[in-house]
Amino acid sequence: MKLRSILMAGVMTAGALSLASGASAADTKDVQMLHWWTSGGEAAAVNVIREALAKQGYGWKDVPVAGGGGGAAMTTLKAMVAAGNPPTASQILGYYAMDYSEAGKLADITPLATKGDWAKVIPTALQKFTTVDGKWGAVPVNIHSVNWIWVNKALMEKIGGAEPKNFDELIALLDKAKKAGVIPLALGGQPWQEATMFDSVVTSTGGVDFYKKAFIDLDANALKSDTMKKSFDNLAKLRDYLDPNYAGRDWNLATAMVIKGDALLQVMGDWAKGEFKNANKEAGKDYLCYRFPGTDGSVLYNTDMFAFFQVSADRQAAQTALADTTMSPDVQIDFNLIKGSAPARMDVSDAKFDACGKKAIADIKAANAKGTFLGSMAQNYAQPPAIATAYYDVVTKFLHGEIKTSDEAVKQLIAAIDSAK
Amino acid sequence: MSAADALLAAPSREPARHSNVTRVVIYGLLIVFAIIYLLPLVVMVMTSLKPLEEVTGGNMFYLPQHLTFEPWTKAWGTACVGLTCAGLKGYVWNSVKMVVPAVLISTLLGALNGYVLTKWRFPGHKLVFGMMLFACFIPFQSVLIPMATILGKLGAIGQSLENTIGLSLGFGNPTVNLVLVHVVYGLGFTTLFFRNYYETFPNELVRAAQIDGASFFQIFRRILLPNSMPIFIVTVIYQFTNIWNDFLFGSTFAAGDSAPMTVALYNIVNTSTGIVEYNTNMAAAMIAAAPTLVVYVLAGRYFVSGLMAGAVKG
Amino acid sequence: MTTTTQPIALAVVHQPQGGMRDRLRDWLPRLVLGPSFLLILFFVYGFNLWTLLLSFTNSKAFSNFNFIGWANYQKLWTWTFQSDPPSNWYTAIVNMGIFGGLYVVFCLALGLFLAILLDQKIRGEGVLRPLYLYPLALSFIVTGTAWKLFLDPRIGLEKAVHDLGWTSFHFDWVVNPRMMIYCVAIAGIWQTSGFVMAMFLAALRGIDSEILKAAQIDGASVYATYRRIIIPMMRPAFMSALIILTHMAIKSYDLVLSVTGKNPGGAAELPSTFMYSYTFTRNQMGVGSASAVIMLATIAAIMVPYLYSELKEKRQ
């Protein structure tokens, strides 16, 4: 009868599926890559790597899991590793890579590192994440920094503004914009964006040494100092220049406001460059890139890394190829040209990069030498995720008014960091 | 006849004798709510047929001035899901491959369970039913890692099977994994539906068959199943909806080539580059929702009569 | 009466078959139920126990067995009372109350209301019913995306109403952190109330007309009839609806994220998002597990007595 045959059909389908699955393991000439670069511009950058691998005869099995910041992707990664079925490599952020390394899940690519002399060409600060106990398990693909402001050139000229050199000048510039009737500051009201902006505010208010003491060293005196209080005060000042609909807005929509000319500037990492590029805007001609006022000379970085997992012997050739290719100068240049970031290798030529890119590359070299190349707290490169997210909590609550005073914010910050340790 | 009496008379299947005022009020309310329910869908469809400038620059309630199907073709065939820019179409098949067995297996098991719990009572059957029911409340996030570990072990079994006999028999196949996961976590609901339905099923028929010497399965096949169409439809609709629309399990256990369509949709809608293509996103969302919508529209009337036939009785 | 002699007849007829076959026949039902029950025992209760175990450890990114006693629960306990400024856990609990309460109550009320209306012998029921029901077919992500667009002040409802002339209309709830959870509730109610309506409609239709006629003869008013007879007879439907609504309220992780856009100001935190972020994003699996255990305990505290009382009752 009808019902029974439907049920039988279903069970048989399941059976057929299972028998037909056959060889479902990844082909050994394939690189299986987990990432969250699902947007057009980002995907185009990864394509550079894919094509370079294709030339060497390796295929690509894409495992994209969207969700900015990689939240869902990291869950998928945890599941894959727990199942004993890790990908060849995964896009990953520093502390997560360290966690996997400490748990013994990463492959050892030290031979490659020694051969390529990577320790010399990658900024020292990054090696904390790529190398645990002397063993290399991950490589950086790029270096982004977050202490930038992106300015619409036409609007800037219209209001007669000039590059602000410190925080007070920034406020003055924003005032000019407000009087001219444009939205001075474009912000997407999501915790990570607000925290990213706060990184720059802290560095600008207290200087890069203060940033280092407070966020890298978690020095208690720095955290409860008046400078920290002043930083929150400054953040509150910036709030006056936002438009009323900023809550929940995606970062790229805020960038679009600057591109279109609805807003004067945005405080954002240099992945914003990708947006300008997509809209066919040129650095120096349509938009200006300045270091956040008061932070010139330091680079608050975050980097996208590839972590390599322990895989079976037949997959290791592809894995080695991926590591080598990613670190090769050509790929480093081409990838970052599209993505808008700076190469992770400090020894590649900057000829092809535009004005902002050249500045980024130069800044990195200088900051690395001076010791002002520091991880961005908001981007999970100063502290492990537990503390970084505690940081987000306080900053976003302060900005949205749930924490009402700067004193309270300082107290909450200390408490949040303590409880997340 | 007063309005009150007329209202009272209605549920007993006599022709309604409402006063005109009451009828107007009733129809009015129903239509207002229908509009409220329909509005988001209408906006979604209209947005998906507009070029992007109309969406961001215009009013969402206006009809499209430049009607275009480009968002739909894009969503189906060229939208980017990671590095592959082939739209949703491949992933829809992944979802179908996974949903059909999952729904059918969990429904069949639910029917058998309901049958046992009502027609072959044993001491403690209420406790067992209660325990199975509690499975409906587990938050899925908390089972992700333990489940991944178990699936990994199954995958290892599959590997060793493949090394010895050349076939992995489905162990470790991501689609099969998803089917297993959805069957397990759907059992609570399917058992609930069938158990409540069979509870009101007359026992005399079953007893008579037992006297005649019919076996356990014969009674199930010959007596209960033929009369289970309504509840079968309800369960299938409910399970189909939940499993088709699941994102969490799909993204955690089957990311990549075998990803179900919800993961691909999320990837498309979440592309973080500059311009949010609202129109393509809406078209993609509609494509994702199409099968369930069709199922609901076609089988909707069976849905209610199925519920009526006893799913909601105690 | 035939019923009392039947068992004897059965015993007489089947006796000499052999003990094995009889015992198999007795155990067959349990064997059939067995696999499902065992699956649930392992994958639901087993995993819950695992989560319970982890909640007493200081697991961070991966599970470990460094037992730290009640420390995670103590953390959550202090956070429960931190209301100024609100801790994430406090916000999650409050929001669960607001969202869960509104969602369940309004879905039940709206579902019942629409079901009663539809039951009044309406023409066009075949058209109206799918209209109320279809939102459930949409996934949470689709619903959230659609409502986020719909309620967006810049391109959605507020702008549309402004364009139509009413320029002082204000509806910026979806960008106001304090009001966001209500938007999530609206989207959720829109999605599920039609399903509840269908369940109630079926239950209404199933009520025996004889009972109603008897009440009418006894002179009961419409209101009393509904209150004393019809609604009590719908208790099984209420039970099923309540179970499903609770399940959906707990599961509502995707809906919250799609409507609010990643939870600005931490204001749209719910226990499900809290649990997920602590376990997977913040790499504090111990705390996340503890929160999951508390969630489960709360649900159990409500549902177990309810299920117990419903299942214990004799059929009406």
What is the secondary structure of A208-254 as a DSSP string? HHHHIIIIIS--HHHHTSHHHHHHHHHHHHHHTTS-TT-BT--HHHH
For residue A133, the one-letter residue type is D
Contact A317, A112 (CB under 8 A): no
Compute φ and ψ for B304, nearest 5 degrees.
Answer: -70, -45
pLDDT-derived band at B273, boundaries 50, 70, 90: low
Amino acid C224: pLDDT: 76
Amino acid B14: pLDDT: 40
Q: Point out which residues pair with A287 in neighbouring strands.
A: A152, A283
Amino acid B5: pLDDT: 35
Instruction: Please answer yes or no on whether A190 and C262 come within 8 Å at the CB atom.
Output: yes
Instruction: Please answer yes or no on whether A246 and C153 come within 8 Å at the CB atom.
Output: no
pLDDT above 60 (res A18):
no
**Shortest CA gap B38–chain A (Å):** 26
pLDDT-derived band at A1, boundaries 50, 70, 90: very low
Superfamily of domain B71-313: MetI-like (1.10.3720.10)
Q: Point out which residues pair with A106 in neighbouring strands.
A: A309
Instruction: Please answer yes or no on whether B146 and C47 come within 8 Å at the CB atom.
Output: yes
Amino acid B2: pLDDT: 37
User: What is the secondary structure of A69-132 as a DSSP string?
Assistant: GGHHHHHHHHHHHHTT---SEEEE-HHHHHHHHHTT-B---HHHHHHHTHHHHS-HHHHHHHEE
DSSP-derived secondary structure letter, C46:
I
pLDDT above 70 (res A24):
no
Identify all chain A residues contacting C261, using CB atoms and an 8 Å cutoff.
190, 248-250
Identify all chain C residues contacting B17, using CB atoms and an 8 Å cutoff.
none
Considering CB atoms only, which of A75, A386, A401 is closest to C284?
A386
Please give the distance of CA A94 from its chain centroid, rounded to a whole number: 10
Identify all chain A residues contacting C61, using CB atoms and an 8 Å cutoff.
78, 96, 99-100, 103
Q: Note whether B162 contacts A: Cβ–Cβ < 8 A.
A: yes
Q: How many A/C residue pairs have CB atoms within 8 Å?
A: 95
C-alpha to C-alpha distance for A32 and A26, rounded to whole angstroms = 8
Q: Point out which residues pair with A300 in neighbouring strands.
A: A374
Residues A396-418: what's their mean pLDDT? 89
Touching C: B residues 162-181, CB under 8 Å:
none
Contact A80, A284 (CB under 8 A): no
Amino acid B313: pLDDT: 46
pLDDT above 80 (res A115):
yes
Instruction: Please answer yes or no on whether A252 and B274 come within 8 Å at the CB atom.
Output: yes
Q: Note whether B116 contacts C: Cβ–Cβ < 8 A.
A: yes
**Shortest CA gap C253–chain A (Å):** 12
Q: Which residues contact A200 (CB under 8 A, 6 or more apart)?
A: A146, A147, A267, A292, A295, A300
Per-residue tens of pLDDT for chain C, all 316 residues: 444 444 444 444 444 455 666 777 778 888 888 899 999 999 999 999 999 999 999 888 888 888 888 989 998 988 888 776 678 888 888 888 888 899 999 999 999 888 888 887 777 777 787 788 888 888 777 787 778 778 877 767 777 777 777 776 667 776 677 778 888 888 889 988 888 888 888 777 777 677 777 777 777 777 777 777 777 777 777 887 888 888 888 877 777 777 776 665 567 788 888 888 888 888 888 999 999 999 888 888 888 888 787 777 644 3
pLDDT-derived band at A68, boundaries 50, 70, 90: low
Identify all chain A residues contacting C177, using CB atoms and an 8 Å cutoff.
247, 400, 402
C-alpha to C-alpha distance for A348 and C284, rounded to whole angstroms = 39
The sign of the CA dihedral C66, C70, C73, C78 is negative
Radius of gyration of chain B from its Cα atoms, rounded to whole angstroms = 25
| Tens digit of each residue's pLDDT (9 = 90 or more) over A223-256 | 999 999 999 999 999 999 998 888 777 787 888 8
The sign of the CA dihedral A366, A371, A375, A377 is negative
Nearest Cα residue to C179 out of A406, A400, B270, A253 = A400
C-alpha to C-alpha distance for A25 and C265, rounded to whole angstroms = 44
C-alpha to C-alpha distance for A312 and C307, rounded to whole angstroms = 50
Instruction: Please answer yes or no on whether C272 and B56 come within 8 Å at the CB atom.
Output: no
For C69, left (φ over 0), alpha (ψ -120 to 50), or beta?
Answer: left
Please give the distance of CA C78 from its chain centroid, rounded to a whole number: 28
Identify all chain B residues contacting A339, using CB atoms and an 8 Å cutoff.
none
Percent of chain B with pLDDT over 70: 87
Considering CB atoms only, which of B33, B116, B192 is closest to C32?
B116
Instruction: Please answer yes or no on whether C280 and A245 come within 8 Å at the CB atom.
Output: no
Residue of B nearest to C240 (CA): B312
Cis before C85 (ω within 30): yes
Touching B: C residues 183-242, CB under 8 Å:
190, 194, 198-199, 201-207, 209, 212-213, 215-216, 221-222, 225, 230, 234-237, 239-240
pLDDT-derived band at A197, boundaries 50, 70, 90: very high
Question: Which chains neighbour B (Cβ–Cβ under 8 Å, 3 or more pairs)?
Answer: A, C
Token pair of A189 as six digits: 């009201």
pLDDT above 50 (res A289):
yes
Mutate to test the interface with A, among C54, C62, C68 (most CBs of A within 10 A): C62
Token pair of B87 as six digits: 């739209």
Which class for A115: exposed (0-12), middle (13-18), buried (19 or more C-beta within 10 A)?
Answer: exposed
Residue of C nearest to A400 (CA): C265
Q: Point out which residues pair with A140 in neighbouring strands.
A: A305
Look-up of token digits 């044993």: B122
Amino acid C65: pLDDT: 85
Q: Which residues contact B289 (CB under 8 A, 6 or more apart)?
A: C137, C138, C139, C142
Token pair of A295 as six digits: 């932070």
DSSP-derived secondary structure letter, A286:
T
- Is residue A21 helix, strand or coil? coil
**Shortest CA gap A200–chain C (Å):** 19
Mutate to test the interface with B, among C43, C207, C313 (most CBs of B within 10 A): C43
Token pair of B196 as six digits: 């409540």
DSSP-derived secondary structure letter, B85:
-
Q: Point out which residues pair with A142 in neighbouring strands.
A: A343
Compute φ and ψ for B40, nearest 5 degrees.
Answer: -60, -40
For residue C259, the one-letter residue type is V
Token pair of B72 as six digits: 């739909």
> What is the average pLDDT score of chain A?
87
C-alpha to C-alpha distance for C305 and C295, rounded to whole angstroms = 16
Question: Which chains neighbour C (Cβ–Cβ under 8 Å, 3 or more pairs)?
Answer: A, B
Which class for A232: exposed (0-12), middle (13-18), buried (19 or more C-beta within 10 A)?
Answer: buried
Touching B: A residues 309-338, CB under 8 Å:
none
Contact B230, B302 (CB under 8 A): yes
Contact A189, C175 (CB under 8 A): yes
Identify all chain B residues contacting A42, using CB atoms and an 8 Å cutoff.
272-273
Contact B198, A43 (CB under 8 A): no
C-alpha to C-alpha distance for C242 and B313, rounded to whole angstroms = 14
Of the listed ranges B7-11, B108-112, C64-68, C117-121, the least confidently predicted one is B7-11
| C-beta atoms surrounding A353 within 10 Å | 20
| pTM assigned to the model | 0.82
| C-beta atoms surrounding C66 within 10 Å | 10
C-alpha to C-alpha distance for A192 and B298, rounded to whole angstroms = 45
Token pair of C69 as six digits: 């006693």
Instruction: Please answer yes or no on whether B104 and A6 come within 8 Å at the CB atom.
Output: yes
Q: Note whether B221 contacts A: Cβ–Cβ < 8 A.
A: yes
> What is the average pLDDT score of chain B?
81
Q: Note whether C180 contacts A: Cβ–Cβ < 8 A.
A: yes
Amino acid A108: pLDDT: 92
pLDDT-derived band at B9, boundaries 50, 70, 90: very low
Greatest Cα-to-Cα distance within chain C, rounded to the nearest angstrom: 88
C-alpha to C-alpha distance for B24 and B18, rounded to whole angstroms = 10
ipTM over 0.90: no
Cα–Cα distances in angstroms (integers) from residue C116 to residues A400, B51, C108, C196, C205, in the given order: 44, 42, 12, 12, 10
Nearest Cα residue to B197 out of B238, B158, B229 = B229
Touching C: A residues 336-395, CB under 8 Å:
384-386, 389, 393
Considering CB atoms only, which of B82, B97, B175 is closest to A43?
B82
Helix residue spans in C134-226 (DSSP H): 140-151, 157-163, 180-205, 209-217, 222-224
DSSP-derived secondary structure letter, B63:
P
Contact A61, B256 (CB under 8 A): yes
Helix residue spans in chain C (DSSP H): 2-14, 19-40, 47-54, 71-80, 88-118, 125-133, 140-151, 157-163, 180-205, 209-217, 222-224, 231-233, 235-251, 253-260, 271-276, 285-312
pLDDT-derived band at A88, boundaries 50, 70, 90: very high
Instruction: Please answer yes or no on whether B275 and A278 come within 8 Å at the CB atom.
Output: yes
| C-beta atoms surrounding A261 within 10 Å | 15
| C-beta atoms surrounding A355 within 10 Å | 13
Considering CB atoms only, which of A19, A40, A47 is closest to B167?
A19
Residues A371-400: what's their mean pLDDT? 89
Amino acid B16: pLDDT: 43
Contact B278, B47 (CB under 8 A): yes
User: Residue ranges of the domains in chain B?
Assistant: 11-70, 71-313
Mutate to test the interface with C, among B62, B137, B261 (most CBs of C within 10 A): B137
- Is residue C134 helix, strand or coil? helix
Instruction: Please answer yes or no on whether B40 and C150 come within 8 Å at the CB atom.
Output: yes
> Comparing C83 with A72, which gets the higher pLDDT?
A72
| Tens digit of each residue's pLDDT (9 = 90 or more) over A328-373 | 999 999 999 888 889 999 999 889 998 899 999 999 999 999 999 9
Which class for C83: exposed (0-12), middle (13-18), buried (19 or more C-beta within 10 A)?
Answer: exposed
Instruction: Please answer yes or no on whether A191 and C262 come within 8 Å at the CB atom.
Output: yes
Amino acid A164: pLDDT: 92
